[in-house]
Amino acid sequence: MSFMQINDLKVYYPIRGGFFNTVVDQVTAVDGISLEFEKGKAYGLVGESGCGKSTTGKSIIGLEKITSGSIVYEGQNVTHNRRGRGSSYNRDIQMIFQDAHSSLNPRKRVQDIIAEPIRNFLNLSPDEEKRRINELLAIVGMNEDAKLKYPHEFSGGQKQRIGIARAIACNPKLIIADEPVSALDLSVQAQVLNFMKDIQQEFGLSYLFISHDLGVVKHMCDHISIMYKGRFVESGNRQDIYTNPQHIYTKRLLSAIPDVNPVGREERKKERIEVEANYTANHKNYYDENGKVFDLKKLSTTHFVAMSAHEKGGI
């Protein structure tokens, strides 16, 4: 049973302009997506840059206005009450931000940044708080001497780890992890991913894992949704997505994964160009006349693909 459901979520950003700074247009960042979260499961969100992944995450935790759709958490409709004071939703749903640098207050020391959620949501004595901060730093592989420093004194990957420590500080139920490891080297990445899996198993934590790294997503996620222009083009389990992809965009993504082997890179480039050409040629079968992604159709109990009714008949 899922503990949280997102139904037909839409988020539009108004674009202002003109002399009176009135709304002249809008960006349909998220255009009707639905998701369900089960305890202890990891959900991957992958897609083109600018397709609406971060907006999805930020609207779930309540940092963006929802245009339409609903979020139901433990049976309660929280759509319009996501940032309510003292609500458990606020504590239980945490986010690791894509832009580590600007999500850290430049005037606060690391210890105060990490302590912020602890002070908001837990009643710890100063000693306990100190211990918890040390523990969190150790988890993300940082020295204790980091505590007294300011964000600008850290490298890109170190800042990302501070954001991770903050997100996990209060044992949340769902972590929205927006590119949590893209700034990290492989060893620290491995350490963070191992840790994320450990706490997932230990506390039954769930993840919405946003990433461009299809290898990492495959390693981490039980269920994966592929997003394009604000909508899902395909969703399914690992098997469905990686060994039986149906949507042309999914296939295009998978073919563009760089291979960790310099031998044969010219041939791979040729293959990529072929897939690209194929994509352009068959575009109309997968998108409507306005370029919008079709609604998802069920292929199996786990596998959903966006295609026209006509295409579905063909399978």
Partner 1 sequence: MNSTEQLLSINNLHTGFRIKDTYFDAVDGVSISLKRNEILAVVGESGCGKSTLATSIIGLHDHNKTRVEGEIIYKGINLAKLDEEKFNKIRGEEIGMIFQDPLSALNPLMRIGDQIEEGLAFHTKMSKEQREKRVFELLDQVGISNPKRIAKQFPHQLSGGMRQRVIIAIAISCKPNIIIADEPTTALDVTIQAQILDLLKDLQAETGAGIVLITHDLGVVAEVADRVAVMYAGQIIEEASVEELFANPLHPYTRSLFNSIPQMNSENEKLQVIQGIVPSLTNLPRTGCRFSARIPWISEGMHEENPTMHEVSPGHLVRCTCWQHFHFESEEGGITR
Residue window 77-116: x/- pattern of binding to ligand ATP, with contact defined by CB under 6 A: ---------------------x------------------
Q: How far is the CB of 263 from partner 1 (least distance, A)?
A: 7
Pick one of ligand ATP, Mg ion, partner 1, none as the site partner of residue 216 (Cβ within 5 to 8 A by kind): partner 1
Angle between helices 248-255 and 265-282 (to 10 degrees): 170
Query: Does residue 155 touch ligand ATP according to CB under 6 A?
Result: yes
Return the residues of window 204-243 that contact ligand ATP according to CB under 6 A: none
Among 8, 17, 277, 284, binds partner 1 (CB under 8 A): 17
Query: Does residue 63 touch ligand ATP according to CB under 6 A?
Result: no
Among 3, 5, 7, 27, binds ligand ATP (CB under 6 A): 27
Among 56, 158, 200, 206, binds partner 1 (CB under 8 A): 158
Residue type, position 306, single letter: A
**Closer residue to partner 1, CB minimum distance, 104 or 169:** 104
Lateral strand order in the sheet of 2-17: 22-38, 2-17, 68-73, 76-77
Residues 168-181, buried b or exposed e (16+ Cβ, 10 A)? Answer: bbbebbbbbbbbbb
Type and span of the H or E element at 29? strand 22-38
Q: How far is the CB of 184 from ligand ATP (least distance, A)?
A: 7
Among 17, 84, 156, 215, binds Mg ion (CB under 5 A): 156
The answer to whether 71 and 5 are in contact (CB under 8 A) is yes
Query: Does residue 46 touch ligand ATP according to CB under 6 A?
Result: no
Q: Which residue is nearest to ligand ATP (CB)?
A: 157
Q: How far is the CB of 82 from partner 1 (least distance, A)?
A: 20
Angle, CA of 186, 167 and 226, to the nearest 5°: 65
Pick one of ligand ATP, Mg ion, partner 1, none as the site partner of residue 218 (Cβ within 5 to 8 A by kind): partner 1
Among 91, 219, 292, 297, binds partner 1 (CB under 8 A): 219
**Closer residue to partner 1, CB minimum distance, 73 or 286:** 286
Cα(133)–Cα(45) distance, integer angstroms: 30
**Closer residue to partner 1, CB minimum distance, 78 or 241:** 241
**Closer residue to partner 1, CB minimum distance, 76 or 239:** 239
The token pair that represents 139 in the structure block: 């988890």
Q: How far is the CB of 213 from partner 1 (least distance, A)?
A: 8
Residue 269 makes CB contacts below 8 A (sequence gap 6+) with none
Cα(295)–Cα(181) distance, integer angstroms: 31
**Closer residue to Mg ion, CB minimum distance, 22 or 155:** 155
The token pair that represents 87 in the structure block: 């609500």
- The strand pair at 231-237 and 304-306 is best described as antiparallel
Q: What is the DSSP letter of 85?
A: T
Query: Does residue 13 touch ligand ATP according to CB under 6 A?
Result: yes
The token pair that represents 220 in the structure block: 């981490």
Residue type, position 35, single letter: L
Q: In which residue are the tokens 């592989």 written?
A: 141
Query: Does residue 261 touch ligand ATP according to CB under 6 A?
Result: no
The token pair that represents 176 in the structure block: 């929205």
Among 53, 223, 231, 247, binds ligand ATP (CB under 6 A): 53
Pick one of Mg ion, partner 1, ligand ATP, none as the site partner of residue 101 (Cβ within 5 to 8 A by kind): partner 1
Cα(15)–Cα(17) distance, integer angstroms: 7
Beta partners for residue 231, in sequence order: 228
What are the residues binding Mg ion (CB under 5 A)? 54, 98, 155-156
